[in-house]
Amino acid sequence: MAKRESTFINMVVTLLLVTGIAAASLGYVYELTKGPIAEAKLKAQQEAITKVLPEFDKLGNSYKDLKESGGDSLEFFPAYKNGELVGTAIKTYTKKGFSGFISIMVGIDINGNFSGFEVLEHAETPGLGSKMNAWFKNTEKPNQNIIGKNPKSTKFKVSKDGGDIDAITASTITSRAFLDALNRAYNSYKKEE
């Protein structure tokens, strides 16, 4: 079969058909994967909440804090055990990371202490800033570990800036950003109370 000639009509019709077919098939695939994608996201969120909070048996309705300045709102997930509040998971964020946006799920127990955290999304340098998820949980290094502490009694700043938390070696910017996200969650939590 010889090649179609490049007349104006041929070109327009071809492009129209190619884009039309592509759009239709993508719409179909989108419909197919919409459910699983939402499920996967929800599952990741649920897993993070379970990891950062003390044991609970029921999750209350989530609510959003719209007052916090800085554009995006924080999302709160209160957790109950036998009907009593045991802690609140907060989905917080910072835009000050070495590569911009970082999203973190933090848990705050009823005494106002951080009960855990889980980094949800980040683009920090592998091998440096990406270590934050393990670094700030290291129970053998009390100056790195933030779990069980709260910004009221501990200065939530890196030691270089006069705070009480040791920054990740060679990743001060990531560490500052991390603490920024935690402070944002804590301040917003206090206001909600």
Partner 1 sequence: MSQWKNFSKGFIKENPVFVLLLGMCPTLGVTSSAINGLGMGLATAFVLVMSNIVVSLVKNIIPEKVRIPSFIVIIAAFVTVVQLAMQAYLPSLYKSLGLFIPLIVVNCIVLGRAEAFASKNNLVSSAIDGLGIGLGFSFALVLLGGIREILGSGKIFDITIYPENYVTLLFVLSPGAFIVLGYLIALINRIKKN
Q: How many residues bind partner 1 (CB under 8 A)?
A: 31
Contact between 14 and partner 1 per CB under 8 A: yes
Residue 44 carries which DSSP code? H
- 18 counts as binding partner 1 under rule CB under 8 A: yes
- CA dihedral over 168, 155, 49, 104, signed as positive or negative: negative
For residue 159, how many other CB atoms are within 10 A of its CB? Answer: 14
37 makes contact with partner 1 (CB under 8 A): yes
Q: Compute the least distance from the CB of residue 85 to partner 1, in Å.
A: 30
Q: Which is nearer to partner 1, 17 or 85 (CB)?
A: 17
* Smallest separation (angstroms) from partner 1 to the CB of 158: 20
Q: Token pair for residue 144?
A: 């790195």
Residue placing its CB nearer to partner 1 in the complex, 48 or 79:
48
What residues from 121 to 180 belong to the interface with partner 1 (CB under 8 A)?
Answer: 121, 123, 125-128, 170
Closest CA to 57 of 31, 79, 77: 79
Residue with structure tokens 């393990």? Answer: 134
**CB 19, min distance to partner 1, A:** 6
Structure tokens that stand for 141 in this block: 């290094």
Please state, in angstroms and rounded to a whole number, the distance separating the CA atoms of residues 164 and 146. 10
> Could you give phi then psi for residue 38, rounded to 5 degrees?
-60, -40
Considering only 120-128, 147-155, 175-183, 185-193, which stretch makes contact with partner 1 by CB under 8 A? Answer: 120-128
- Both tokens of 118, joined, read 């889980």
Contact residues for partner 1 (CB under 8 A)? 1-7, 10-11, 14-15, 18-19, 22, 25-26, 29-30, 33, 36-37, 40-41, 44, 121, 123, 125-128, 170
